Structures are given as structure tokens and as C-alpha cells.
Structure 1
Amino acid sequence: MNILFIITGLGVGGAERQVVDLADELTKLGHSVKLAYFLSEKTTVLKSPNFDVIDLGNNKNNAFAFIFGFFSLIKLIKKMKPDVIHAHMFHSIILSRLSRIFAKQSKLVCTSHSSYDGGKARMFAYRATSFLGDVFTNVSHKAVNNFEARGAAKKGTMLTVLNGIDINKFYFSYERRSAARVPLQTNKKLILSVGRFHKAKDYPNLLHAFSLICNERSDVELWIVGDGDLKKDIEQLIFKLNLTGYVKLLGIRNDIPDLMNASDVYALSSAWEGFGLVVAEAMATERVVVATDCGGVKEVIGECGFLVPTEDPELFAISLKKALNLEVEERQKLGVMARLRVKEKYSLRTVAKKWLAVYSNINV
């Protein structure tokens, strides 16, 4: 099958990693894949030499990237003649739908990766252009319900297709943990959080919760992997809460599986998510997870972690303390259960095959 993936950009984020991993997996299954993007900033690691990556936006990182990219997309579709176009995230979805007016030969699948993808204007844009797409999906049942309730899609028309985790990349071993912790030069218990510095990730929630823990104990550290527009705000809050010696901002990293192994607890503090990909990655690495009940995170965790309400640092801190205080046997048991859940429900190979079934069952 000849498949064209289109995404807004390749910055830091779960959606971007998922698209790259899925493209890689589909090439392994024998399909021809190209990945096109609009915004020039590239930070996601492209691990596969087997699919082409195309800059539609002419190396721009502003509105002109979308204007130029729209016409580049039309040319690419006409030249490539893909069997399926799979568009991810808002801008790519809208532009891919509009491109069908000029290049109608391909099946078009559109995927949002969030339970909250903007305000009323975006929901209207989704609904107004829906007739130009063949399938509209999201990454969790809760996200689908939210989109339909907000009018982005007609009730009963949006599909749920879960994200997939590369369980051969995310796994726990004592050797990996030891190798990862030695350079860290710490004997403290580590809480890890990964995600861009964006309002959706609600790092103030995590920092306020962590400050409550530090009021009671000094044997913990919080490491945050990511970058973004809110970095200065986060740095100021760390200073304000007197957490400078306890919190490390690691920036953008390409060794997330190793950092997962090094950590003791994974924390997700988001106000909203679509699926919570990084939660499933932590579970695959047999980490104890404490996460907010947002988007599809509850569906992912099941009974294999701690779930807390959003925007409640006090309850978040209580669950983080419980996770940190687990006995070794309890921690290991929970970790094994978590990995088994991911392996059975969210393996990348299983999800890739589900997408192929979606592509094949589209009638145009």
C-alpha cells in the first residue's frame, strides 16, 4: 500500500512520536510510506531510513509554511498518487481536506490526537470540512465523545483508534537502570515527567504537588524532559517554590527509555490529553505511574497506576507519596501488570494492523 502521512510539524510531542513510530512500523510490514510536514522545526527523532520525510512548508515556521505547504501538498498528491492519505493534527487535517478539491483520487483519514483541540472556531472548521474526508478518528473513547459533544463531528461518526507503543524500545531491565543512573550521580528517588512546556501539560500542578513532598522529605528529585514557550514561567515557579535544588529541567532528550528506567515514579500532570502516550510508555517500562484523569489516560492506566483529578496538587501529592513509598514487591507487581496491559492492548504492531484495516475498509 502506498501511504502518505501528513502532520503539522515534527516538534516534541506524543502525536509526533506516534506518527513517526507508526510510519516506521508500516514500512516494516512492507508498505511504502512518505511523511510530509508543514512547520520547519524538527526535533522528533526520525529513526527509520525506509521512508521519505518531506518539508512542505519550504523551511518556514510561520503562517507562510501553511500557505506554501498547501500548494506543495497538492503537487505531492498528484505526483505520488497515494492509496491513502493520513492527516494528523488540526492544520494538517483541514488543509488535507481542502486539497481534495484539487486532488480527489486518494482516500483520506484524519486523526486528532487530543480530547481538547481548540475552541469553537476549530470545532466549526472540523465540522464544516467533514464532507471532504472519509474517516475521522481520535485516540481514545473519551476524546471521541468530547469531539462529538462539541460539534466537531456528527454523533456516531468518529472512530476510536488507540495509539501504539514500541514495546521492544520501552522495557525495563536492571542493567539499563544501572547504566542510566550512574551518569545521573544521584541516589535519590526520581520522579520523571516528559512533555512540552505547554498549558495542556499543567506543570504548575506538578510543581506545587512536588513542593508539598519536599516539605516532608529531601530524598527525592523531579526531572522534567521537554521544552516550549512556557519554559521561563516554569523556571520562575521552580525558584518561587524553593525547588531549585530538587528539580532538573533536562531539555529535549533522545534517551527517554533510559530515563524511564532510571526513574522510580512517572508523573503526568496534564489538564487535558488525547491518549497519554507517554503514560503507556512508562507502563511498558514497568514504572509506577501517577497521572491526572484527563482524556484517555484512565483508559490507558486501568488498575495499573494511580489516577488523580486534574488541577488538584494536594491529591496529586498524596498519590505521589503513596507511589514513592511502595514496597519493592508491590512496585514490581504493579510494573509487571502495567507492561502486560500495554503489551495486550497498545503494542505498535497491533495498532499498525488496525490502521491497515481502516485504510482497506474505506469505500470512496
Structure 2
Amino acid sequence: MKVLLVITSLSVGGAERLVTSLADEYVANGHEVILVRFHGDEEVRPSDSRVRLVNLEMQRSPLGVLTAMVRLRFLIRSFRADVINSHLVHANILIRVLRLVTPMSRLVNSMHNSNEEGLGRMLAYRLTDHLADVCTNVSQEAVEAFERQGALKPGRMLAIHNGIDTESFVFDSDERQRVRTELGLAENTSLLLAVGRLSDAKDYPNLLRAFARLEACPMVPQLVIVGDGPLRHDLEALADSHGIKDRVRFLGVRHDVPELMSACDLFVLSSAWEGFGLVVAEAMSCRRPVVATDCGGVREVVGSAGFLVPPKDSAALGEAIERALGLSNERREKLGAAARERVVERYSLQATAERYLAVYGNDNHISKE
């Protein structure tokens, strides 16, 4: 099968990591894959050199968008893909518009959230819904959220959970020690880790306010935040205003996330909204205790193998962090083992790739009526 994957960019994010991993999985199983992005550098990329990467180098202007669309149209016509699978809102809408003037055998649009941050985007989805053959989202909750917001008719979207490489995301005691030494942490200092783009969706102010409540802990923990984004300056200023600047480190983009997860004692997700919560599954695969906000599909991921709190409630988040840090070593080990077992059984990359491939090849999977 010839598969054309289209995504807005290859910045560091859950959707981008999933798409590059799917590309690797597809070519490993004998499919021909081109991965197209509209703009930006390759902050993440497939590991298999057989995946062909194309950057449309789209500029933020009407002429820049038109030029990129012409390039993409030429690529589609020359590659003759059996299926085109686009990911994230901008790629989804643009590829639908392009289908008005470009023949496509099968078009699958994949969303990765329950909230697209604006009525305009949901309206754009609704008006162009008929141009897609199938839509997917990363959790049943996210599917239902799209239906409630009128982005598409009920029954037009499937839930396909994100998958992770459970052989890469595994606890490593040697890497734990290496990273903790790099960070200058004492052996008995607890380390909290958060991973994700510094944007409104991740609600890092919620995390910083919760973290500021932990002064009463016998050993004051440290917090590391991995990722970058438009809110970095504001978040650094907020940490300073709460008097925790010396205990919070913003590491920016890192490419050793599994190792950082091994180094932490607790993984925290403070999001206001999510689609699936890929980083939560990755941390669980590394046998890490997790405290997360109950948003999007996160409850489906965590189950009983972690702590869930309401979104936008820093008091509840802080209390859950304290409870998790107070676990005995025995309880911590049992919780970590249960977390990994849950992820391996439910959210392996292979299972996710097989589900996507089944959708790619099934012309009658969802009616367009």
C-alpha cells in the first residue's frame, strides 16, 4: 500500500511523535510511505530512512499557502497514494479543500484532541466534512466532544487510541542515575516531570500553582518541564512570582524523554484539555506513578493505575502530588508495574498501526451519508 501522511509540522508533540512512529511501523511492514509537513524543522522524525520526508515550506501569507497547496497537489498526483491520512486541524482542513480540485483515492482525517480552540475551526470541519471518507480521533470522549460541538454528523468518526513504542519507553536504572547526575539531584530529592508544549492546553499555570503548595514536604521536590512554546516567558515569570524559580527547570525541547521519565519519581499532567494524553501512556510504560487531570481520554489511559484530579484545580492537583510522593516504595513499585502492564496490553504502537491500516483499506467502514 502507498500511504501519504500529511501533518502541519514536525514539532515536538504527541501527534507528531505518533505520526513518525506510524511511518516507521508502516515501512517495516512493507508499505511505501511519504510523510509531508507544511512547514518547520524536523524536531521529530522517523527513524527508518525508507520514509520519504517532504517539507512544503509554506509561508504565512495567501501566496505562501497557495504555493504550498500547488506543491502538495503535484506530489499527490505523482505519488498516486492508495490512502492519504492527514493529522491536526490545519492539515485536515487544507487537504479537504485541495480535494475539490485533486483526485484522491481515499482521504482519512485524524484529529488529536477534544477541543480545537475555537468555534471557527469546528465550523470549518462541519462545512468540509463531506470531503473526507473517514475521520478518527484519539479517544471515545474526543469523538463525542466533536459530535456535541457539531463538527460532524454522529457516526462519522472512529476512536483510534494513540500507540507508543513500549520497547523504547521502558524504565532504565542506569539512565535514571545518569540524568539525575546531569541535573545535580541528591539521591533523596524527588523529581517531578511534565512534558508537553508550553501552550494554553497544557495549563502549566495550574501545575506551577500546585507545585508552590508543596513547601511543607519533608524534602522539597524539584520540577522539570520539557517542551517549548509561546508561553515560556510568562511561565518563567509565574514561577518567579510564586517563589519557586529555583526549584523549577524549563529544559526546552529534549530528545531523551524516555530517559527523563526513568529519572523522575512522579509524572504530572496538568492539562485543561487533551485528546488522549500520549505522554501519560509513555510515563506509565516507564513504570512511573502518574498524577493527571481528568480530561479528554486521560481517564481511559490511566484507569486505576494512577491519580486523577479535576482540571483547573491546583489545590486538588497539589494534594494528589503529595499523596503520590508519600507512597511507600512497595506501593510505588506495584503501581508502576500495573501502569506498564495496562499500556502494553492496550496501547502498543503495533495495535494502533493495525487499526489505522484497517481503516485505510476498508472503503465501507463509515458511510458518508
TM-score normalized by structure 1?
A: 0.96
Mapped partners of 1:70, 1:77: distance in 2: 10
Partners of 2:190 and 2:45 in 1: CA distance: 28
SS in 1 for 2:351: helix
Instruction: Name the aligned partner's letter for residue 144 of structure 1.
Output: V
- The CA deviation string for residues 42-70 of structure 1, in whole angstroms up to 9 with x for no partner, is 32244221201101135x46665533221
Contact kept, 8 Å, 2:223 with 2:248, in 1: the verdict is: yes
Worse-matched range after superposition: 182-191 or 281-290: 182-191
Give the aligned partner of residue 134 of structure 1. 133
Match of 1:231 in 2: 232
What per-residue deviation string (whole Å, max 9, x for no partner) do you get for residues 49-97 of structure 1?
1201101135x46665533221111111001000000000111111111
Q: Is the 8 A contact 2:191 2:264 kept in 1?
A: yes
Change (3 A) 1:61 1:347: farther
Aligned equivalents of 2:165, 2:113: Cα separation in 1? 20
Structure 1: runs of 5+ lacking an equivalent: none
Aligned to 1:36: 36
Q: What CA distance in whole angstroms lies between the structure 2 residues aligned with 1:118 and 1:18?
A: 21
Asked if the contact 1:224/1:248 (under 8 Å) is kept, the reply is yes
Q: 1:321 to 1:163 in 2, by over 3 A?
A: same
Q: Secondary structure in 2 aligned to 1:129? A: helix
Alignment of 1:185-334 (within 5 A): 185-187=184-186, 188-334=189-335
Q: In 2, distance between residues paired with 1:246 and 1:79?
A: 54
Q: CA deviation at 1:102?
A: 1.9
Contact 1:40-1:61 within 8 A present in 2 as well: no
Letter aligned with residue 140 of structure 2: H
Alignment-mate amino acid for residue 96 of structure 1? I
Distance in 2 separating the partners of 1:257 and 1:167: 10
In 2: Cα distance, 1:203 partner to 1:243 partner: 14
Cα distance, 1:189–1:61 mapped onto 2, change above 3 Å: farther
Note the residue ranges of structure 2 that are not aligned, 5 or more in a row: none
Instruction: State the match for 1:123 in structure 2.
Output: 122
1:183 maps to what in 2?
Answer: 182
Deviation string, structure 1 residues 304-346 (Cα, Å, up to 9, x no partner): 0000000001110010001111111111111111111111110
Contact 1:204 1:237 in 2 (8 A): yes
Q: Counterpart of 1:110 in structure 2: which amino acid?
A: N
Structure 2 CA distance for partners of 1:329 and 1:218, relative to 1, 3 Å: closer
Deviates more, 1:110-119 or 1:215-224: 215-224
Instruction: Give the TM-score, by structure 2 length.
Output: 0.95
After superposition, give the CA deviation of every residue in 1:29-52 in whole Å (9 maximum; x if it has no partner). 111111001122432244221201
Query: What is the deviation of 1:156?
Result: 2.0
- Aligned partner of residue 286 in structure 1, secondary structure: coil
Partner of 1:161: 160
Aligned positions, number: 363
Aligned residue number for residue 3 of structure 1: 3
| 1:109 Cα deviation after fit | 0.3
RMSD: 1.4
Q: Distance in 2 between matches of 1:218 and 1:172?
A: 24
